[in-house]
């Protein structure tokens, strides 16, 4: 990797952490010069990182030039989940309709088997949840890969770029919920049903199951919003204005417009 690419990656990761960690607030203008000094990178890779974060949906371009941190509300969270579910449902249908080889079905089946083995452990621990995140992401990535559509894969990558939109966004949150075991059981049953539908080449059923599977994240979110303690566990919670809370005051003159889901 050349030095400029390395600096861009470093700037991207650092900026994303500053935004998600709350160091940069919704509506705040992102000034280049202070960030150049703070991150120890030159302006060219910093600008590339800013453009990438605007594409991801964490920043918005300002009419006067530059960028500001986006703000979100609860409707944006639900919309992001719905968009992901729709696109992943399409991926499941594509995979089912194209007909998979024995090797491809075995690859997807191995993801489901690994999740079965994980859920057989008792009791559920934080380590289990961390392992579930990894295995769950592998299952979802495998479905997208088996759809064999670069166009769809790019759209899904864009849809899950927001911290609360990915398939595993609320998995760690479940560790704080008393319903954790039941939700895991439901999610895993859905994984297996999706596998069976794809294997049987039932495209419509595979699509419907995948969309319903995404709705489980919505249920997790609804449970999280029942208390301040669990709200804070929502990914990127510092960017979100929840119902019943005052609007975030921006330290700069820019007020974030309601974000669009990318």
User: What DSSP letter does each residue of 106-163 carry, written as one string?
Assistant: HHHHHHHHHHHHHHTSSS--HHHHHHHHHHHHHHHHHHHHHHT-HHHHHHHHHHT-ST
Residues 6+ apart with CB under 8 A from 183: 174, 177, 216, 219, 220
The better pLDDT of the pair 185, 152 is held by 152
Global pTM reads 0.76
pLDDT at 3: 56
Taking only the tens place, the pLDDT of each residue in 54-89 is: 988 899 999 988 999 999 888 888 898 999 999 999
Compute the average pLDDT of residues 127-149: 90
Quickly name the fold that domain 74-224 has: 1.20.120
**How many other CB atoms sit within 10 Å of the CB of residue 20?**
16
Q: What is the mean pLDDT of residues 234-254?
A: 57
Closest CA to 68 of 39, 30, 97: 30
pLDDT at 46 over 80: yes
Check residue 201 and give its pLDDT: 98
Query: How does the average pLDDT of the chain come out, rounded?
Result: 83
* 91 or 78, greater pLDDT: 91
Of 68-72, 80-84, 229-233, 253-257, which gets the smallest average pLDDT?
253-257
Res 223 pLDDT > 80: no
Which candidate, 243, 229, 206, 254, places its Cα nearest to that of 75?
A: 243
| Range with the largest mean pLDDT of 99-103, 159-163, 183-187, 248-252 | 99-103
User: Per CATH, is 3-70 categorized as 1.10.10.10?
Assistant: yes
Cβ(21)–Cβ(69) below 8 Å: no
Question: Residue range 43-51: average pLDDT?
Answer: 93
Q: What is the end-to-end Cα distance of the chain in Å, rounded?
A: 29
Domain boundaries, the chain: 3-70, 74-224
* pLDDT over 90 (residue 95): yes
- Residue 256 CA to residue 102 CA, distance in Å, equals 50
Task: Please name which of 140, 28, 166 lies closest in space to residue 84, comparing C-alpha atoms.
Answer: 166
Note the pLDDT of residue 115: 93
- Whether the per-residue pLDDT at 206 is higher than 90: the answer is yes
Least confident residue range of 5-14, 31-40, 215-224: 215-224
pLDDT, mean of residues 146-151: 97
């Amino acid at each position: 990797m050349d030095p400029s690419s390395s600096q861009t990656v470093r700037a991207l990761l650092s900026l994303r952490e500053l935004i998600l960690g709350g160091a940069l607030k919704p509506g705040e203008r992102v000034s280049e010069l202070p960030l150049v000094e703070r991150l120890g990178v030159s302006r060219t890779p910093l600008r590339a990182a800013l453009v990438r974060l605007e594409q991801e949906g964490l920043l918005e371009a300002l009419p006067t030039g530059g960028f500001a941190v986006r703000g979100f509300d609860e409707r944006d969270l639900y919309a992001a989940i719905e968009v992901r579910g729709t696109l992943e449902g399409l991926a499941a249908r594509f995979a089912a309709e194209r007909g998979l080889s024995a090797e491809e079905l075995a690859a997807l089946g191995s993801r489901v088997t690994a999740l079965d083995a994980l859920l057989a452990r008792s009791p559920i621990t934080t380590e289990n949840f961390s392992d579930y995140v990894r295995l769950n992401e592998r299952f979802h990535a495998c479905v997208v890969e088996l759809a064999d559509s670069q166009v769809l894969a790019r759209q899904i990558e864009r849809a899950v770029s927001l911290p609360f939109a990915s398939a595993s966004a609320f998995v760690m949150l479940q560790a704080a919920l008393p319903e954790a075991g039941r939700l895991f059981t439901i999610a895993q049953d859905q994984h297996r049903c999706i596998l069976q539908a794809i294997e049987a080449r039932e495209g419509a059923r595979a699509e419907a199951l995948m969309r319903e599977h995404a709705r489980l994240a919505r249920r997790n979110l609804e449970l999280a919003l029942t208390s301040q303690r669990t709200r804070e566990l929502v990914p990127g919670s510092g960017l979100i204005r929840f119902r019943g809370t005052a609007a975030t005051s921006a330290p700069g003159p820019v007020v974030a417009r309601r974000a669009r889901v990318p």
